[in-house]
């Protein structure tokens, strides 16, 4: 009989029918929540039938009959141990309701199960609920991850119990005493609670009533359609009236009524879309942070728990695809779970388990050097080629805190033309104007870029999410396809069966976008076909949030910069040693291991400093290992390269050998150890990428003069620059002597330290907010006034100490070397602050609307004003080794050896030094810090003045080695004819030990032809890509002047040189 249906009452009726709160004694959801009588004590069976939890004559629960384990026992360990070791331990009694811990402990449970014979023909699950992360092991293999937060609390034992199947079996559950997001005390990102306990709340066998489950999913989808499509949409009413009729038809005590109700839903789901409907490309995904609120070691288990669940899902859902990034994580699983890894390889060959990204880890997109980014792709793509027979064609970096404008060129050079991310949806100020577009880097390289319009990589297959994906898409009309990444992420978890079942109902349902299980290649292929109307974004993809990560955890930043230098120098010196002596063994395997450690630490929650203390400790230990092993490898290379100069000889004269790993000549003051152990200063000139012996003392044209004035101020000059410092170490004058140009404005102080309050809205280690600028307090408490420490000659220096904040101290030595164009500041800080931000400021007498910042293999400009919201949102930015503010004919640069945060507002250059967040690491940055920065005034442009080279010099100090010969001609291995070209790396080719790869880039932003010159025995030269594959028409003729190379602005070239011996 037809009846008038009121929309509100009909909606609420269906809601209550599905509610887990209201009317659960008689609604459909009550089937899920039905509970039976308590089970028997631990170690005892539930009786001959083992049945409990029935609801006779009342309802049909989602989980029907229940049965406790026949036996439950456990073994606890503070270590993460392999299965074979665990099962050999002594297990003791355990019971449901018991708590385990503390944090990071592991509990192994032995679960003996006996399935009642009466359950024949039924679907049987093993249900396990706890606050920790679990893994089910069966027959010595991992089979299922268990995480309540990831909606995975059951393991399917059988979908229809057969008499021939084993009814008694033993499972092991490996329980990590931490949650999906670690163990934060009070909030997710708080430091871990060391004494957190996890409770085992459920461990039982259950009968799963799939007909109830399917009916629930049908009604959920229809209810969402009714609520979300809106009253103006007829499909909303059709879905509502259908759901209402299903409630009428369905008798929850009589399962025979369910099929008729489901037929009503199927009629709605089978009504198809028109051809113009938007298509959503759904891909399973599980973003796993390689370390974050948990240590690296726990991530290995997270990968296994998540991926084995995906593999299990694929066995019953052959259409499921899963996009998975980070070669490091594949390598972990390969090493620790070989059986699981073999299954993954088989599914990858079938096109279901899809490696993506092409990098070793999902690295930070701002702070790694250009060469580090190259190695991310080189190590990642080679791993995927070796293990899966193909390289990745899309770069996959959904959760990184901004994206360097050099990335498009690096992608293209690594065999990638497509890019997926979504992080810019987190912008605090401006909404990014596109979801599908071409991204153009500073060299002009373009990649097709897609941001999933749902603004997430952790979708759950809900109606609201697919509707948002269409509504939110900023490129509607240009393209008609979008990505939809579904699965729990960050802490792992991945897709669930319910997500898949929701999307099956939305596959092609009128009123909703089409949802098809797809692959990254299918998505990007169709976007490429539709790309003719797409817009182009030029330059960096700057995230307007998380800009505190340029500064947080300063020791990690310093370790990264230093280890990048260490590996650069080891590769250069080892390559030259091979070229000089073919018997020398290039340390390829050791270098690969060290590079992989460095690349791992560049993960986007480690290098940015947004991780817990355990991760920081691991990262610093990895840097220590790189430094130690790198020093040994460097010593071995120098011993081979310079053997004749280092061997003691009769009547030998003590001298010093100085090595230069950069590709230009350098004249600098060095400190060489004397025969009595004291350090002696010497001014030396060392050729490009080569070495020289320190011979007769080199007298500078003008020695450094240091003079104390009557008012306590001190002047220093070296014939290039002259400075005047007040008693607090602040510059009141900084002059270029050639031109007499003053850098410091009247009445201003440069090298002024300033302390800011630093309390963000939530993301403590991540964010520095714009309002911190309103809390600026100059540091003016003097502990030790300025005094002369070196009176001049080859080097002059002065020092002073300040109190910073309530209890921190800063000591600085300001150093001026003979002939050096910059003044450097060797700074030591005992940092004991909380929620404070320390910067150093240099107001300069320069007017320009843009400042220049070094990035990977180049530089870019950012505004010095806040005209628009886009300008203002960049109040704190990042740079690598230098930043510069110039007007025509003059400028001032700030150089540094391990800092990344910076800003330039109006005429004030500012370098960010230290932060003091308390979450997720309460000890972040506390303790001793040492770092160096420098100020360099210059005539002309920064390019003409050599700012780029001077910044490299500061970061790559000359190597001084005791030698035994007084005379030896200087030797240069490589040089480049143009100052616009930087020779960045020399390394052995990956697959050709008889060849090296030389990487160069154009640094000025110019079109130029340059000659690469070398005396080394080269028989063949060719251009190659970043994966070291020779380019078509890439052969380079060997000419008398060297190799002729053509560059456009910021172009990176890799040259493969084959030795003749």
Calpha distance 348→404 (Å, rounded) = 31
* Helix H or strand E segment including 345: helix 338-349
- C-alpha 1028: how far from chain center: 24
Tokens of 806: 């309530």
Q: Name the DSSP class of 592.
A: H
Calpha distance 711→706 (Å, rounded) = 15
Catalytic one among 218, 289, 399, 758? 399
- Tell me the three-class secondary structure of 530-582, residue by residue: CHHHCCEEECCECCCCCHHHHCCCHHHHHHHHHHHHHHHHHHHHHHHHHHHCC
Calpha distance 2→55 (Å, rounded) = 34
Return the ∠ at Cα 786 (arms to 781 and 789), rounded to 5°.
140
Calpha distance 120→42 (Å, rounded) = 25
CB crowding 1042-1061: b at 16 or more within 10 Å, else e: bbebebebbbbbbbbbebee
Distances (CA, A) of 301 to 184, 491, 495, 1039: 19, 11, 17, 55
Total residue count of the chain as it appears in this document: 1061
Q: What is the dihedral of CA 295, 299, 301, 302, to 10 degrees?
A: 130
Preceding omega of 102 cis (within 30 degrees of 0): yes
Instruction: Clarify whether 399 is annotated catalytic.
Output: yes
Q: How far does the chain reach from its first CA to its final CA, in angstroms? A: 95
User: CB count, 10 Å around CB of 828?
Assistant: 15
Backbone φ, ψ for residue 179 (5° rounding):
-90, 180
The per-residue DSSP string of 467-523 comes to HHHHHT-TTBTTB-EEEEEESB-BB--B--HHHHHHHHHTTT-TTS-EEEE--HHHH
Tokens of 748: 């201003």
Query: Is-contact 551 914, C-beta < 8 A?
Result: yes
Calpha distance 658→668 (Å, rounded) = 11
Pairing between β-strand 721-725 and β-strand 731-736 as defined by DSSP bridges: antiparallel
Tokens of 317: 């859902």
Calpha distance 337→360 (Å, rounded) = 19
Calpha distance 505→518 (Å, rounded) = 16
Pairing between β-strand 106-114 and β-strand 141-147 as defined by DSSP bridges: unpaired
Query: Is-contact 183 193, C-beta < 8 A?
Result: yes
Q: Look-up: residue for tokens 């081979």?
A: 640
Name residue 692's beta-bridge partners.
658
Name residue 860's beta-bridge partners.
853
Calpha distance 543→560 (Å, rounded) = 22
Tokens of 295: 């240590």
Return the ∠ at Cα 1043 (arms to 1041 and 1044), rounded to 5°.
95
Distances (CA, A) of 264 to 17, 254, 411, 451: 16, 17, 50, 37
Name residue 73's beta-bridge partners.
93, 110
Question: Would you please indicate which residues are annotated as catalytic (active-site) residues?
Answer: 399
């Amino acid at each position: 009989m037809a009846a008038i249906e009121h929309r509100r009452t009909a909606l609420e009726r269906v809601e209550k029918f599905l509610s887990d709160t209201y009317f659960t004694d008689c609604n459909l959801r009550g089937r899920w929540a039905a509970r039976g009588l308590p089970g028997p004590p631990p170690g005892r069976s539930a009786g001959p039938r083992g049945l409990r939890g029935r609801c006779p004559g009342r309802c049909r629960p989602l989980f029907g009959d229940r049965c406790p384990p026949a036996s439950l026992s456990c073994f606890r360990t503070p270590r993460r141990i392999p299965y074979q070791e665990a099962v050999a331990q002594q297990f003791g009694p355990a019971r449901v309701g018991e708590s385990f811990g503390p944090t990071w402990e592991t509990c192994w449970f032995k679960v003996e199960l006996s399935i009642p014979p009466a359950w024949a023909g039924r679907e049987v699950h093993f249900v396990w609920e706890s606050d920790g992360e679990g893994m089910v092991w069966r027959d010595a293999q991992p089979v299922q991850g268990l995480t309540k937060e990831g909606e995975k609390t059951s393991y399917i034992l059988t979908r229809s119990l057969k008499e021939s199947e084993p009814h008694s079996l033993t499972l092991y559950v490996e329980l990590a005493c931490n949650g999906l997001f670690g163990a934060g005390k009070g909030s997710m990102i708080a430091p871990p609670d060391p004494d957190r306990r996890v409770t085992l709340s459920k461990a039982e066998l259950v009968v799963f009533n799939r007909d109830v489950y399917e009916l629930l999913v049908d009604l959920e989808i229809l209810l969402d359609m009714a609520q979300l499509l809106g009253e103006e949409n007829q499909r909303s009413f059709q879905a509502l009236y259908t759901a209402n009729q299903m409630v009428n038809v369905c008798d929850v005590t009589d399962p025979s009524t369910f099929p008729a109700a489901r037929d009503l839903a199927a009629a709605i789901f089978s009504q198809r879309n028109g051809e113009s409907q938007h298509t959503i490309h759904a891909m399973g995904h599980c973003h796993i942070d390689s370390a974050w609120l948990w240590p690296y070691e726990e991530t290995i288990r997270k990968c296994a728990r998540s991926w084995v669940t995906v593999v299990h899902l694929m066995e019953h859902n052959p259409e499921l695809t899963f996009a998975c990034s980070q070669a490091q994580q594949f390598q972990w699983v390969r090493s620790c779970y070989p059986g699981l890894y073999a299954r993954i390889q088989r599914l990858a060959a079938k096109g279901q388990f899809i490696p993506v990204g092409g990098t070793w880890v999902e690295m930070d997109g701002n702070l790694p050097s250009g060469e580090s980014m190259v190695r991310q792709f080189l190590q990642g793509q080679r791993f995927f080629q070796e293990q899966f027979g193909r390289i990745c064609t899309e770069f996959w970096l959904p959760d990184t805190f901004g994206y360097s404008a050099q990335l498009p060129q690096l992608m293209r050079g690594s065999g990638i033309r497509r890019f997926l991310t979504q992080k810019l949806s987190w912008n605090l100020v401006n909404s990014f104007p596109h979801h599908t577009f071409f991204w153009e880097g500073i060299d002009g390289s373009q990649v097709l870029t897609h941001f999933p319009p749902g603004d997430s990589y952790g979708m759950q297959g809900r109606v609201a999410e697919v509707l948002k994906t269409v509504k939110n898409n900023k490129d509607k009309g240009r393209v008609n396809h979008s990505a939809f990444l579904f699965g729990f992420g960050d802490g792992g978890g991945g897709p669930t069966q319910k997500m898949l079942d929701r999307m099956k109902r939305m596959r092609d349902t009128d009123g909703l976008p089409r949802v098809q299980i797809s692959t990254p290649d299918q998505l990007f292929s169709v976007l490429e076909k539709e790309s003719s109307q797409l817009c182009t974004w030029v330059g960096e993809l700057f995230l307007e949030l998380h800009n505190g990560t340029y500064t947080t955890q300063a020791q990690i930043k310093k370790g990264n910069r230093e280890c990048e230098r260490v590996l650069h120098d080891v590769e250069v010196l080892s390559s030259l040693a091979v070229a000089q002596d073919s018997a020398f063994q290039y340390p390829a395997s050791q270098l690969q291991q060290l590079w992989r450690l460095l690349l791992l630490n560049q993960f986007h929650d480690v290098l940015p400093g947004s991780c817990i203390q355990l991760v920081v400790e691991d990262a610093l230990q990895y840097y220590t290992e790189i430094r130690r092993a790198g020093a040994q490898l460097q010593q071995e290379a120098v011993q081979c390269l310079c053997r004749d100069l280092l061997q003691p000889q009769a009547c030998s004269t003590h001298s010093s050998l100085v090595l230069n790993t950069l590709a230009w000549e350098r004249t600098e003051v060095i400190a060489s150890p004397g025969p009595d152990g004291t350090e002696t200063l010497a001014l030396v000139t060392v050729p490009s990428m080569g070495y020289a012996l320190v011979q007769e003392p080199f007298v500078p044209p003008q020695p450094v003069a240091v003079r104390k004035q009557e008012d306590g101020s001190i002047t220093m000059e070296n014939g290039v620059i002259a400075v005047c410092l007040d008693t607090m170490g602040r510059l009141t004058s900084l002059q270029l002597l050639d031109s007499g140009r003053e850098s410091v404005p009247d009445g201003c102080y440069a090298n002024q330290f300033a302390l800011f309050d630093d309390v963000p809205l939530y993301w403590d280690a991540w964010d520095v907010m714009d309002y911190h600028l309103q809390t600026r307090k100059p540091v003016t408490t003097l502990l030790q006034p300025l005094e002369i420490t070196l009176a001049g000659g080859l080097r002059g220096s002065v020092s002073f100490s300040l109190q910073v904040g309530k209890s921190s101290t800063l000591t600085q030595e300001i150093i001026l070397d003979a002939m050096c164009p910059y003044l450097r500041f060797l700074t030591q800080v005992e940092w004991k602050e909380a929620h404070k931000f320390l910067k150093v400021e240099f107001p300069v007498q320069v007017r320009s609307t843009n400042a220049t910042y070094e990035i990977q293999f180049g530089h870019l400009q950012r505004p010095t004003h806040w005209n628009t919201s886009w300008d203002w949102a960049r109040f704190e930015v990042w740079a690598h080794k230098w930043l510069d503010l110039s007007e025509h004919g003059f400028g001032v640069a700030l150089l540094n050896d391990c800092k990344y945060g910076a800003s330039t507002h109006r005429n004030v250059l500012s370098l960010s030094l230290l932060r003091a967040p308390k979450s997720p690491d309460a000890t972040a940055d506390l303790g001793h810090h040492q770092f160096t920065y420098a100020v360099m005034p210059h005539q002309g442009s920064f390019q003409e003045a050599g700012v780029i080279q001077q910044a490299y010099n500061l970061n790559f100090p000359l190597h001084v080695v005791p030698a035994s010969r007084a005379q030896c001609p200087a030797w240069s291995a490589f040089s480049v004819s143009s100052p616009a070209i930087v020779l960045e790396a020399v390394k052995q080719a990956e697959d050709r030990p008889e060849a090296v790869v030389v990487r160069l880039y154009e640094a000025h932003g110019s079109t130029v032809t340059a000659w690469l010159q070398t005396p080394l025995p080269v028989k063949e030269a060719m251009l190659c890509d970043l994966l070291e594959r020779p380019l078509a028409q890439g052969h380079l003729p060997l000419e008398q002047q060297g190799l002729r190379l053509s560059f456009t602005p910021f172009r990176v070239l890799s040259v493969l040189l084959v030795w003749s011996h």
